[in-house]
Amino acid sequence: MALIKPYQSNQLQPRYVDDEGERARLQVEIRKYAALTISSAAAANAVMLGAGYFTPLTGFMSKADTLSVAESLQTTEGLFWPVPILNLVRENSFEHIGRSVALCDPNLEGHSALAIQEVDQVEELSDAEMGHIAFHTFGTVDPQHPGVAALLAQGRYLLSGPIRVLNYSYFEQEFADTFRTAGQIRSEIKQRGWQRVVAFQTRNPMHRAHEELCKMAADAVAADGILIHMLLGKLKSGDIPAKVRDAAIRKMVEVYFEPNTVMIAGYGFDMLYAGPREALLHAIFRQNAGCSHFIVGRDHAGVGDYYGAFDAQSIFDDAVPLDTLDIEVFRADHTAYSKKLKRVVMMRDVEDHAAEDFIFLSGTRVREILAAGESLPPEFARPEVAAILQRYFTESN
């Protein structure tokens, strides 16, 4: 049985220039192009396009596509897509229309070239249009929302057109054991002989509830394996750095999962905190990575109180046209430690429990405990994981 097809395509369409000779030629040729240092958000979009996660997109969206995707979740040509994929710049670069531009990486010293863009159009967005895009994408225009803040901090000139990607920014070097393209994940799934793969998205260290959720989902869908797929890009202030999360997740998998049942990988993207819209994007790029199922839990990709607890699940019913996505969603309930059963449960499965029968810890409370140098309760975090997190908080305070 073949793996699940990439999203709306018979094959992955990575924009990375894979041929070494061609890439070397472009590295020389690019010196003739105008150089443009782009935002971290645009650089992350380029990495995702290069890695095949955004198949079947070929580059950055035009103003018409941007407004259409924001309002109606589809491009002007009718492709279902949940969030605009943008290259917003501060300077008016109208002289670049119809020409190649070197997109330079803001996250690397020296701002070396990351990709080449063929600039089809340069269009200005008004403040009203920026607000319109923010509202539809994030459900708010509150500048305190980290995704809204990141969007509004970029320029107002929209450069659209296809790109060719020359490298994967800092992700390949800094996370050599973890960063993987969609194609690399597909290849490893095939090598392992897996057919049914359930993907778990995380920007946080995995505590016992996350661990058990992965195991519950794998059992429920009879999965051959689990992809724990962590975000490696930029986060909001207060979130735990990727290297610490990576170490904690690897230790948890090593000790508490059966051998050869979990693949750990990471992707090079900046977190949007777009809640339901981001859940849809997560599903698309997990399908591109070859996963048959995707876990969507409580407040998936959310932040603060901007989204309802299960909005990221209901959007798959309310907004996705029939037969658009091939990947199936595993809908998770609140998970918590049951003092009655002495294990982590999904709360919908234990109707005989009252609130006092559960142990809950908010992310804020976890950070307070760790910052105080205290131990996390064993009902919440595995001791090996807690030790890694405690060491990070001790060294950073």
Q: What does the pLDDT look like over 124-134, one tens digit per residue? A: 999 999 999 99
Higher pLDDT, 390 or 81: 81
Higher pLDDT, 230 or 98: 230
43: left (phi over 0), alpha (psi -120 to 50) or beta: alpha
**Looking at the predicted structure, is the pLDDT value of residue 83 above 80?**
yes
**Looking at the predicted structure, is the pLDDT value of residue 318 above 80?**
yes
For the chain, give the percent of residues with pLDDT over 90. 80
Q: Is 229 in contact with 284 (CB distance < 8 Å)?
A: no
In the predicted model, what is the mean pLDDT of residues 129-154? Answer: 97
Q: Is 113 in contact with 105 (CB distance < 8 Å)?
A: yes
pLDDT of residue 111: 93
**Looking at the predicted structure, is the pLDDT value of residue 364 above 70?**
no
Q: Catalytic annotation on 92?
A: no
pLDDT of residue 93: 66
Residue where the block lists tokens 């105080």: 372
The conformation of residue 195, written as its DSSP 8-state character, comes to S
Q: Give tens-digit pLDDT for 30-79.
A: 999 999 999 999 999 999 999 999 999 999 999 999 999 999 999 999 99
DSSP annotation string for 200-216? EEESS---HHHHHHHHH
Structure tokens, 69:
């995707």
Q: Which residues contact 342 (CB under 8 A, 6 or more apart)?
A: none
Task: Delineate the domains of the chain, giving CATH numbers in brackets.
Answer: 20-169 (3.10.400.10), 178-267+273-396 (3.40.50.620)
In the set 180, 203, 245, 382, the catalytic residue is 203
DSSP annotation string for 108-168? STT--EEEEEE--EEEEPPHHHHHHHHHHHHS---TTSHHHHHHHTS-SEEEEEEEEE---
pLDDT of residue 94: 64
For 248-262, give one letter per residue: b (16+ CB within 10 A) or e.
bbbbbbeebbeeebb
Q: How far apart are CA 102 and CA 38, in angstroms?
A: 10
In the set 204, 250, 331, 367, the catalytic residue is 204
Q: How far apart are CA 276 and CA 250, in angstroms?
A: 28
CB atoms within 10 A of CB 29: 12
Higher pLDDT, 360 or 306: 306
- pLDDT band for position 237 (50/70/90)? confident
Full-model pTM: 0.95
Q: Catalytic annotation on 204?
A: yes
**Looking at the predicted structure, is the pLDDT value of residue 144 above 70?**
yes
Give start and end residues of each alpha helix (H) in the chain: 20-29, 40-50, 63-72, 127-138, 146-152, 171-174, 182-192, 208-220, 242-256, 276-288, 311-318, 363-371, 383-396
User: What is the residue-averaged pLDDT of the chain?
Assistant: 94
pLDDT of residue 238: 76
Backbone angles phi and psi of 346, in degrees to 5: -85, 130
